[in-house]
Chain A
Amino acid sequence: MRKRGSASLLLLSLALTLGMTACSSGGGNSNTSGNNAAGNEAGANNEPAKTEATTLSIMWWGPDARHEATKNALSIYTKQNANVTFKPEFMAWDAYWQKLPTLAASKSITDVLQMDAAFITEYVSRGQLEDLSDIDLSGIVDPKVIENLKIDGKLYGIPLSQNAQGIAYNKEELEKYGIALPKQNWTYDEFFQWARDAHAKLPEGKYPIGDSIGWDSFNFYQTSMGKDPVMAEEGKKFTLDKDLFMTYYKTYEEFRKAKIVPPAEQAAAFLENDPQADPMASGVLLTRGATTGSVSALEQLMPGKVGVVNMPIGPSGGGWAQSTIFLSVSANSKHKDEAKKFVQWFISDKEAGKALGLTRGIPINPEIYKELEPTLEPKDKLGKEIYDLSVEKALPFYSAAAGFTEWVDTYKKEMEAVTYGQQSIEDAYEKINKMGMDLAAKAGS
């Protein structure tokens, strides 16, 4: 009995300890944040001494190569500035954009974070990002580029690289079937005609181009024809040109009937950069969209076979060529000065430049790119080629406006129903247009 008794006591005390840790972990959190707040006040009042130890939290998305390169760059910074250490977090694109809103809601965004052109206006409009206009970027970034990136006259993201949208094609197979390679600055008419001609020379089961269901593809078309982008003025102005919409999707309807694009059932299984399911690497499509930052992944799947061309153009131009990846600083950061110093270093230090390579596209700093150029591999050169081909006719990069994420999904689903033959183009237009108009009215109110 005695033995059992003491065993129960032991259990009881164990339970108590558990209970107490559960309680204190809640209290502990508020304590630490209190400490941080105090530290921040001290830092804000007078310039932090050089020896003051600082830990900067930093978060980015990307593939493994980028993770490794960035971690190396961080350790170089710590070597140069012994007082600064990092708390890095890195993940894939999807996870990143799922995590960031929750961090924003709890005002705990990392000190430094990677930002994308598609989302930056949304985070700026919610007051989550720090104004970085006072960082000196002269001699590092072209002043024109900086002017273009300003939102309401302020800079909220330090551009890291040059990026551009283009089209990759299977050079080897096009030559094999005697199909002319796409030429720079082809127009939409030439692009569609090229697809028809190529189809005539291809065996069954191979298709010159893919189907089109995303809003961005149509937005490229609409803007190249001189119309407004689908979303303008932060989502207050919505333009979906019905004539252009009908012309564009009627062409794809003709293509589906003529088997110039693959059937919907097959297209739905495509998964870019997957060795088996990539539309182009699997040998089903002969072309697909690619960006400066992403084309190297495709090249690695089919080495030596990839060629690139810019997006088809219209009277106003076509595609885009500009910075889309930035480093931003959280508006709630406790270490803003250190963070600003770091982001400036990130694009100007030569050693960092070498460590980072082209893992975020073509470095924005021409000097760093010059140093890297002799060591570039073919996969990297393709990215540069897309940029060089696109820059002449490039239009601005248009992203979905804040509050339009659901509309983007709806667009895809309605157009998907069209490709499966379950809905007419006209019906899809009505639904997509109505939802867009409603959202624009809401954004304007």
Chain B
Amino acid sequence: MGTAETLTQAPHTKAARTSLRKRKNKEETNLAGYIFIAPWLIGFLLLTLWPIAQSFYLSFTEYSLLEAPVWTGTDNYANIFRNDDTFTKSLSVTFIFVLISVPLKLFFSLLVAMALSKNIRGMNVYRTAIYFPSLIGGSIAVAALWRNMFGLEGYVNQVLSWFGIQGVGWITNPDTALGTLILLNTWQFGSTMVIFLAGLKQIPQELYESASVDGAGRFRKFVSITLPMLSPVMFFNLVLGVIGSFQTFTSAFIITKGGPINSTYVYALFLYEKAFKHYQMGYASALAWILLVIVAVLTALNFLASRYWVFYESDGGRAK
């Protein structure tokens, strides 16, 4: 039973483990630990790491799925950077999408989170009601709904016509199509909002009370207490938002198919079509690795920048 007991206590504290266990016991613990994570580990090695390694190899080949891959060296990368106008176009579309939709979503979800953090009777009902659409937010059904709302004969134009405004084909007009996708992304604020809400609940009430005693107004409290205390949560949401938005796919795939004239041809859709429509697996793998590098660099930049604005209470001030 010794092993089993060790297992139940192992996660508690590091110090307890090293001081109390014998060496042999510890090895057993490790083995047991590996066995415990084996289902995940095997899945990760076979279904994640192996395909990643494969795609790195394929990115240096020409591979149509029907024939064996042919080694072409760095040709794929050279073609992407030198000759591919669509690459440049889809990258710029994606940057615009990220640049607008991420801040918009952060702002909007913070706003909603603050409204929902008030202590009003029946608040749980409101929270559920507001979070509810997010349960289906990323689904194909919602994307299809969006298509109907913003179509030429869609609900949006119907409502506009009540005010005598002649609407445009929001989805089929190259100037507005990307906007509708950004709006949809912003509307899917649920999980971001919940994280903000949890963050707001963590801020000690005393801080607000003492600020009130000092005569601080609501705006002052927001700027000097809420924002700094919330900054780690905001940073977390920002990083996840940037990574997620770079990979946005469903809405562009379902609503606009990348059109009109490539105005919503986001990077993930470009990659998908190269791979599964034109069967250029090698080229698509190279695109995937470029995306990985871009996202990694941006995330690193985010972390670097975070030193200047994220406040960690536990460090007694600025982040390390």
Contacts and interface: CB of A to CB of B under 8 A. Distances in A.
A98 B261 CA distance: 23
Interface string B117-136: 00000000000000000000
Interface in A58-115: 98, 101-102, 104-105
B261 A417 contact: yes
B268 to A, nearest CB: 16
A420 B261 contact: yes
Contacts of B46: 26
A105 to B, nearest CB: 4
How large, as a class, is the contact surface on chain B?
35 or more
B259 A15 contact: no
A265 B169 contact: yes
B179 to A, nearest CB: 15
Interface in B7-58: 7-8, 32, 35-36, 38-39, 42-43, 46
Contacts of A409: 273, 277-278
Contact of A1 (B5, B152, B276): B5
A22 interface: yes
A425 to B, nearest CB: 15
A266 B173 CA distance: 9
Contacts of B143: none
Nearest to B154: A269
Contacts of A9: 4
- Among A5, A9, A11, the most chain B Cβ lie within 10 Å of the Cβ of A5
A23 B262 CA distance: 45
Contacts of B152: 265-266, 269
Contact of A420 (B5, B64, B260): B260
B1 interface: yes
Contacts of B172: 264-269
Contacts of B64: 101
A146 B23 CA distance: 78
Given A269-B171, A420-B261, A422-B261, A19 B42 contact: yes
A299 interface: no
Contacts of B280: 406
A131 interface: no
B65 interface: yes
Interface in A258-286: 264-269, 276-277
Contacts of B35: 12, 15-16, 19
Contacts of B140: none
A126 interface: yes
A223 interface: no
Nearest to B256: A268
- Max chain B C-beta neighbours (<10 A), residue from A1, A16, A101, A277: A101
Interface in A399-433: 405-406, 409, 413, 416-417, 420, 422
Given A9-B4, A22-B39, A22-B42, A268 B66 contact: no
Given A265-B152, A269-B172, A19 B4 contact: no
B279 interface: yes
B111 interface: no
A416 B260 contact: yes
A251 interface: no
Interface residues of A, number: 41
Interface in A10-25: 11-12, 15-16, 18-19, 22-23
B190 interface: no
Nearest to A94: B277
A129 B200 CA distance: 63
A413 B278 CA distance: 15
A317 B174 CA distance: 38
Contacts, number: 101
A128 B38 CA distance: 39
Contacts of B262: 413
Given A5-B4, A8-B4, A18 B39 contact: yes
B159 interface: no
Most chain A CB within 10 A, of B65, B168, B280, is at B65
B169 A266 contact: yes
Contacts of A5: 1, 4-5, 8
A18 B4 contact: no
Given A265-B169, A406-B278, A422-B261, A23 B4 contact: no
Contacts of A1: 1, 5
Given A15-B35, A19-B35, A405 B4 contact: no
Contact of B38 (A15, A266, A269, A277): A15
Given A15-B36, A98-B276, A413-B262, A105 B65 contact: yes
Interface string B269-311: 0000100111110000000000000000000000000000000
A269 B39 contact: no
B65 A405 contact: no
A264 B7 CA distance: 67
A280 to B, nearest CB: 15
B261 A416 contact: yes
B153 interface: yes
Contacts of B38: 15-16, 18-19, 22
Nearest to A277: B151
Nearest to A9: B4
B90 to A, nearest CB: 12
A266 B278 CA distance: 28
A4 interface: yes
A399 to B, nearest CB: 16
A128 B260 contact: no
Contacts of A123: 66
B288 to A, nearest CB: 17
B43 A22 contact: yes
B315 interface: no
Contacts of B153: 276
B67 interface: yes
A406 B84 CA distance: 13
A15 B39 contact: yes
Nearest to A105: B65
B65 A23 contact: no
Interface of A: 1-2, 4-6, 8-9, 11-12, 15-16, 18-19, 22-23, 26, 98, 101-102, 104-105, 122-123, 126, 128, 264-269, 276-277, 405-406, 409, 413, 416-417, 420, 422
- Closest 6 pairs between A and B when the two form their complex, measured CB to CB: A268-B172, A19-B38, A5-B4, A105-B65, A265-B169, A126-B66
6 contacts: A8-B4, A12-B7, A101-B279, A267-B172, A268-B169, A276-B153
Given A12-B36, A105-B66, 18 more contacts: A4-B5, A5-B4, A12-B7, A16-B35, A19-B35, A19-B38, A19-B39, A22-B38, A105-B65, A126-B67, A264-B260, A265-B169, A268-B171, A268-B172, A269-B172, A413-B259, A420-B260, A422-B174
Interface of B: 1, 4-5, 7-8, 32, 35-36, 38-39, 42-43, 46, 64-67, 151-153, 168-169, 171-174, 259-262, 273, 276-280
